Amino acid sequence: MTMKLTHAFTLAALVSLGPYDIQLHGTPRTPNAQGSARLVFAESPFGVAVTTDGHASYDVQLTVSGLPEPSTLGAYKAYVAWGVTTDLKQWRRLGAVANGKSTVGRVEYNKFMLVIAAESDSLVEKHAGPVVMSGTSPSSFLQMFLSHPMFRGVAP
Amino acid sequence: MRHRWRNAPLVALIVAVPNVILAQKKPPAKKPDPMAGMPGMAHDSTKTSSKKAPVKATSNPASSTMAGMPGMTGDSMAMGMPIPMPRGMPMIPGLVGLTPQVSSFLPGAGVDPTKIAAVKPTQTVRLKDGDTLDLTAGLVRRTIRAKPFVMYAFNGMVPGPLIRVAQQATITVRFHNRIDLPSTVHWHGLRLDNRFDGVPGLTQQEVAPGADFTYTVHFPDAGVYWYHPHVREDIEQAMGLFGNMIVDSPEPDYYSPVNRELSLVLNDILVNADSLIPFGKESATYALMGRVGNVLTVNGEPNYELSARKGEVVRFFFTNVSSSRTYNLSLSGVPMKVVASDESRFEREERVPSVVLAPAERYVVEARFEKPGRYALVNAIQAINHYAGEFAPEVDTLGVVTVGDVPASPDYGSRFTTLRAYPAVSRDVDRFRQYFDKEPDEHLTLTVKPNSLPLATVQFMNVDTAYYAPVEWVDGMPDMNWLSTSKQVKWILREDATGKENMDIDWHVKQGSVVKLRIFNDPKSFHPMQHPIHLHGQRMLVVARDGVKTRNLVWKDTAIIPVGSSVDLLIDASNPGAWMLHCHIAEHLESDMMAVMHVDR
């Protein structure tokens, strides 16, 4: 029964994903974790929120379930969400996360990952703990056309 | 203008995609010009005809088919000319050699630009209640990149005269059409008498070349508005027919005190090395993404310059008259606050790092130039290089503000620092708050249907669906876009309840009702794109976006609907008549993206 409910939850989460949603996946440490993140334009008088140089400015609405108590993973007390550039060079703290729904901080990268990590404290400013969930932004699906089968003679 | 596209040259290796649908490689044979030699027509724009040409009503309000229309013999430029592509980005091999399936048109066919008057700077015309203005659409010479071109202007000015009136004034405007296309004047944003809304086939007939029409224009609300044709905006507006109207409130403290007020009208013009890129004669080209220019202008000039004093506070009235481009404007770190938009002030002023303007939107923004120096007015966006699958930052400098050492007097620095609230706006909105959470009265979905586009275009669009930006800031695929005409692309407002589309939607509301309209921009269509949706003759509030309630409200007439978003508009349906609701991307309007809201008495 629990498995069926979990399966139903997963399906519902997948079905409800919109164009600016991110599917979050667990890691071997958190096999039951699942969830999604919705990117919603930050509040703006213009309806479209961007930075001065034109990066979209999104508030992140997280829905996660199946995260175990952080202490079961080691000397950790909290889960923290991070916005991370795809080259992993920039990590921006978004906020503390728990099972359920939460709105965390803002991401303003073009292509990025959302990462949830177990941390020693909910207020840490620097990522240090193990990653327990992650997902990539929809913009990460932009691909170079040359790699498409169409250019190897395959019909689309 | 600087483009910084990355990783594009590899595309040159792409194997050509076979094309089964080939556009004409040669423009169709030139038809004889029935108006050749006639006074008032394209070949002699300096003369006017007192005889009105027969007016042909079209079945498509706001959008006329020009084939067979007097003066529509253009063909001044072959369509096969090279179109500008972003640096390092070649045309798609499967599209090389194709041309749009229309003949070409440019203003003033056969007119020597050196023989007509040069465009004049905009003049402010202050009108009192009961005054009359003569407004003539005609040909002018404009110089772009050191080359003279025949373009359009109202009263010889680009932008046209800045009309400044008091709130509640009513004026008469005698419009004289002296261009080579039928035209009208739409008074964008004004809640005026429906008869004078300027929509051909709906509120009036087109004004033929050489003919005249008299408008009674009433200004019920303070704010910043603009006027433009509602016939082939893709040509007429793009070529210079636009102007601002500023309506002053009787309240002396309506806005905060500033040292200066300036109207800045933003447009972009599409040129290649030698000439303007021709327009489609029978129907619009660039129907997929709209025509995005590569020369950005402020008040008609590519290099806007302004001198300011140290500490000067300037109130800018920004209006985006571009066919398709959405701007993200900033002033090199100069502090700015947004005060008002289309039809009112905000409930509260807000500090903003930049100003986002979709086509047809207006924002009133105050800036303080605190220190001497030079400050660039820039449009900074993150474009997408679809070929490389990468974002590509672009920064365009629209102009420069030079701030001197002499301090501004009076010093409004402290007033600028204060972020005012406007309780009058909140009180006005209060009586509508009870409707914010009601179920929508009308649901519309925005989508698109292609028809007989080149196969290579269809294939590329199909593979480019992995991600769509919520806002397409520039034309990332100019070749595909150029080849698409409004006969091959149908942009759609679809009524969810009935499945009816565009002008087939039968939408009636009662005068005095408050109507909640939910618009969803379908991200799974053939080519999702943002749409600036404009409602004529009424005012509306954007009460929620994607379920998130708006906390700082302002009365609007145009609202951007990003891709994938669902936006709730609350319409104060107070003004009776038949009013257009349409996308303000000119080429989308030409591609049928319009409906009518009937406000019944």
A interface residues, B as partner, C-beta within 8 Å:
18-20, 40-41, 43-48, 50-56, 110-111, 138-146, 148, 150-151, 153, 156
Contacts with B467 from chain A: Cβ below 8 Å: 138-142
Tens digits of per-residue pLDDT, B555-580?
A: 999 999 999 999 999 999 999 999 99
Q: In B159-287, which ranges are continuous DSSP H helix? A: 233-236
Take residue B210 and report the two structure tokens written for it: 């050489």
Residue of A138, A141, A151 with shortest CB distance to B15: A151
User: pTM of this prediction?
Assistant: 0.88
Q: How high is the pLDDT of residue A152?
A: 53
Give the closest residue to B21 by CA, choosing from B358, B457, B495: B457
Q: How high is the pLDDT of residue B2?
A: 37
Tell me the pLDDT of chain B averaged across its residues: 87
Contacts with A139 from chain B: Cβ below 8 Å: 391, 467, 469
| Spatial contact of B486 and B60, defined as CB atoms under 8 Å apart | no
Take residue A19 and report the two structure tokens written for it: 């164009």
Which of B345, B347, B545 to probe the A interface (max A CBs under 10 A)? Answer: B545
Range in A1-10, B310-319, B540-549 with the lowest mean pLDDT: A1-10
Range B29-36 average pLDDT: 33
B466 vs A142: CB contact, 8 Å cut-off?
yes
B567 vs A47: CB contact, 8 Å cut-off?
yes
Which of B10, B332, B341, B382 to probe the A interface (max A CBs under 10 A)? Answer: B382
C-alpha–C-alpha distance, residues B267 and B319, integer Å: 9
Contacts with B554 from chain A: Cβ below 8 Å: 45
Of all residues in chain A, the percent with pLDDT exceeding 70 is 81
Residue of B14, B326, B551 with shortest CB distance to A146: B14
* More confident position, B57 or B381: B381
Burial level of B36, CB count in 10 A (0-12/13-18/19+)? Answer: middle
B346 vs A45: CB contact, 8 Å cut-off?
yes
Contacts with B393 from chain A: Cβ below 8 Å: 53-54
DSSP at B462: H
Q: In this structure, are strands B186-188 and B223-228 parallel, antiparallel, or unpaired?
A: antiparallel
B389 vs A145: CB contact, 8 Å cut-off?
yes
Contacts with A53 from chain B: Cβ below 8 Å: 380, 382, 393, 395
Spatial neighbors of B272 by CB under 8 A, at least 6 apart, are B81, B82, B83, B84
Tens digits of per-residue pLDDT, B343-361?
A: 999 999 999 999 999 999 9
pLDDT over 60 at A155, yes or no = no
Which of B356, B422, B522, B530 to probe the A interface (max A CBs under 10 A)? Answer: B356
Residue B538, Cα to own-chain centre: how many angstroms? 18
Q: What is the ipTM of this complex?
A: 0.85
The alpha-carbon gap from B95 to the nearest alpha carbon of chain A, in Å, equals 15
Phi, psi for residue A62 in degrees, rounded to 5: -100, 140
Compare all CA atoms of chain A with the CA of B545 and give the residue at the minimum distance.
Answer: A47
| Spatial contact of A30 and A66, defined as CB atoms under 8 Å apart | yes
Q: How high is the pLDDT of residue B88?
A: 65
Contacts with B15 from chain A: Cβ below 8 Å: 151, 153
B467 vs A142: CB contact, 8 Å cut-off?
yes
Tens digits of per-residue pLDDT, A114-134?
A: 999 999 999 999 999 999 999
| Spatial contact of A118 and A144, defined as CB atoms under 8 Å apart | no
Compare all CA atoms of chain B with the CA of A49 and give the residue at the minimum distance.
Answer: B356
Q: How high is the pLDDT of residue A151?
A: 53
DSSP at B281: S
| Spatial contact of A124 and A55, defined as CB atoms under 8 Å apart | no
DSSP at B82: P
pLDDT over 80 at B312, yes or no = yes
Q: Which residues pair with B380 in a beta bridge?
A: B395
Residue of B14, B470, B554 with shortest CB distance to A56: B470
Contacts with A55 from chain B: Cβ below 8 Å: 382
Measuring CA to CA, how many Å separate B579 from each of A35, B171, B187, B202, B214?
45, 21, 12, 8, 19
Residue of B382, B462, B562 with shortest CB distance to A48: B562
For residue B86, name the pLDDT band (cuts at 50, 70, 90).
confident
HEC profile for chain A? Answer: CHHHHHHHHHHHHHHCCCCCEEEEEECCCCCCCEEEEEEEECCCCCCCCECCCCCECEEEEEEEECCCCHHHHCCCCEEEEEEEECCCCCEEEEEEECCEEEEEEEECCCCEEEEEEEECCCCCCCCCCCEEEEEECHHHHCCCHHHCHHHHCCCC
Chain B, 394 to 413: residues with Cβ < 8 Å from chain A are 394-395
Tens digits of per-residue pLDDT, B131-178?
A: 999 999 999 999 999 999 999 999 999 999 999 999 999 999 999 999
Range A73-92 average pLDDT: 95
C-alpha–C-alpha distance, residues B523 and B468, integer Å: 7
Chain B, 109 to 128: residues with Cβ < 8 Å from chain A are none
Does the beta carbon of B346 lie under 8 angstroms from any beta carbon of chain A?
yes
Range B397-420 average pLDDT: 97
The number of helix segments (H) and strand segments (E) in chain B equals 6, 34
Q: How high is the pLDDT of residue A147?
A: 61
Compare all CA atoms of chain A with the CA of B530 and give the residue at the minimum distance.
Answer: A48
